[in-house]
Amino acid sequence: MNKSIRAAIIGSTGYGGVELIRLLLRHPHVEITSVISSSTAGAPISEGFPHLHTIIRDKLDPVDVQLIRSKADVVFTATPHGVSAEIAPQLLDAGLKVIDLSGDFRLRSREAYKEWYKREAAEQAYLDQAVYGLAEIYGDRVNENVSFISNPGCYPTATLLGLIPAVKSGWIDLKSIIVDAKSGVSGAGRGLSLGSHYSEVNENFKAYKVNKHQHIPEIEQALSDEAGTPVVTTFTTHLVPMTRGIMCTSYATLTDSKTEEDFIEYYEQFYEGRPFVRIRPKGTWPATKEVWGSNYCDIGFAVDQRTNRVTIISVIDNVVKGAAGQAVQNLNLMMGWDEGLGLDFTPVYP
């Protein structure tokens, strides 16, 4: 159980991939044996990421299933949507364990995928095999028999950890949920676009994909599962002039007379024993920097008697808990290890 495993990372030159490297380098039971990139195979990874100079001297491997099979036990696919749908099945067929960080295996409905992602969904058999790895909620489904994890999206992670206990409590009107979400720019990845161009983003705050973000069906799928009835939400995404961090400010109408203390107590019980969710004391709300560089999801509450609504504020580091960190957490669960192994990063402040 404590033996080392060998990990390969496909998409090592994206932000999710390079963060997996940072995290796995500190993992006591994992050895990174292959860093893989389709676009720059053959070059040392430190050429494109000089912060890894002297830390990783490896050259990037090409995407070659047999080569991966020979070098690794588990593969993280930090690949763009569409690419994972192709490569993950091949890796699984080759007998590898796979943790996919893309959106390709998160939606059970192939129709929903096609509608929101504007492309064909992955094959049904593999969709059926994938376990949705929202660790604090579905962690009990992940064990040594599971070979394939679909790692949740960044917005869904922050939204769902903030909302699922409320949804299950019965204290909120399920038809009233509105999520106002804000993300740092790293969520858009390393691919070039005017929307991530420094001079366009700096000293600017903007909304994008209003009501159209592909994370909406992922959120609604989980909320509906937990509620036992279809839930739709109004979900707005905004871009914040910062690199890392997501805040979801969620609103719902109370069905019952509940206080902030009630919510805090309920959430603390709900997340008891889960080290990465931290419930904030009454009257305080988490800021994104307070989880920066760490795997925490922090949650705070405000109840307004005037309007009979609860405001739930949840924050994560989108690159860690919203991607690479939760992927490592899922690896831990998959291997039967403590879920926090190698993830004891204190947030970097300031």
Write phi, then psi, for 173 (nearest 5 degrees): -75, 115
Interface residue with a second copy among 135, 201, 328, 341 (CB under 8 A) is 201
Of 124 and 234, the one with the shorter C-beta distance to a second copy is 234
The CA-atom distances, in angstroms, between 63 and each of 10, 66, 308 are: 7, 9, 54
Tokens coding 31:
């050895």
Which one of the spans 91-99, 150-158, 165-173, 300-308 is the region binding a second copy (CB under 8 A)? 300-308
- Tell me if 43 contacts a second copy by CB under 8 A: no
- Tell me if 245 contacts a second copy by CB under 8 A: yes
- Tell me if 194 contacts a second copy by CB under 8 A: yes
Q: How far is the CB of 94 from a second copy (least distance, A)?
A: 29
- Tell me if 203 contacts a second copy by CB under 8 A: yes
Decide: 134 and 156 in contact? Cβ < 8 Å: yes
User: Between 223 and 242, how does the x/- string for binding to a second copy read (CB under 8 A)?
Assistant: ---------xxx-x-x-xxx
Interface residue with a second copy among 42, 95, 145, 198 (CB under 8 A) is 198
Scanning residues 309 to 328, which ones bind a second copy (CB under 8 A)?
A: 309, 311, 313, 315, 319
Q: What is the DSSP letter of 72?
A: -
Which one of the spans 33-41, 84-92, 100-108, 197-205 is the region binding a second copy (CB under 8 A)? 197-205
Short-list 333, 112, 336, CA closest to 217: 112
- Tell me if 243 contacts a second copy by CB under 8 A: yes
Short-list 3, 44, 33, 239, CA closest to 13: 44
Angstrom distance (rounded) from CA 154 to CA 158: 7
Q: How far is the CB of 95 from a second copy (least distance, A)?
A: 30
Interface residue with a second copy among 106, 213, 215, 244 (CB under 8 A) is 244
Q: How far is the CB of 67 from a second copy (least distance, A)?
A: 25
- Tell me if 197 contacts a second copy by CB under 8 A: yes
- Tell me if 247 contacts a second copy by CB under 8 A: yes
Q: Which residues pair with 150 in a beta bridge?
A: 100, 132
Q: How far is the CB of 242 from a second copy (least distance, A)?
A: 5
- Tell me if 284 contacts a second copy by CB under 8 A: yes
Burial of 87 (0-12, 13-18, 19+ CB in 10 A): buried
Scanning residues 1 to 40, which ones bind a second copy (CB under 8 A)?
A: 15, 18, 21-22, 25-26
Scanning residues 46 to 85, which ones bind a second copy (CB under 8 A)?
A: 49-55
Which one of the spans 70-78, 121-129, 160-168, 284-292 is the region binding a second copy (CB under 8 A)? 284-292
Q: What is the DSSP letter of 40?
A: S
Please give the distance of CA 305 from its chain centroid, rounded to a whole number: 33
Angstrom distance (rounded) from CA 45 to CA 58: 7
Which one of the spans 27-35, 123-131, 321-329, 340-348 is the region binding a second copy (CB under 8 A)? 340-348
Angstrom distance (rounded) from CA 41 to CA 71: 16
Q: Which residues are catalytic?
A: 154
Of 144 and 261, the one with the shorter C-beta distance to a second copy is 261
The CA-atom distances, in angstroms, between 52 and each of 38, 56, 164 are: 19, 6, 38
DSSP string, 247-298: EEEEEEEBSS---HHHHHHHHHHHTTT-TTEEEPPTT----GGGGTTSS-EE
Return the H-helix or E-strand segment holding 237: strand 234-239
- Tell me if 211 contacts a second copy by CB under 8 A: yes
- Tell me if 255 contacts a second copy by CB under 8 A: no
Interface residue with a second copy among 4, 204, 229, 269 (CB under 8 A) is 204
- Tell me if 114 contacts a second copy by CB under 8 A: no
Angstrom distance (rounded) from CA 180 to CA 279: 20
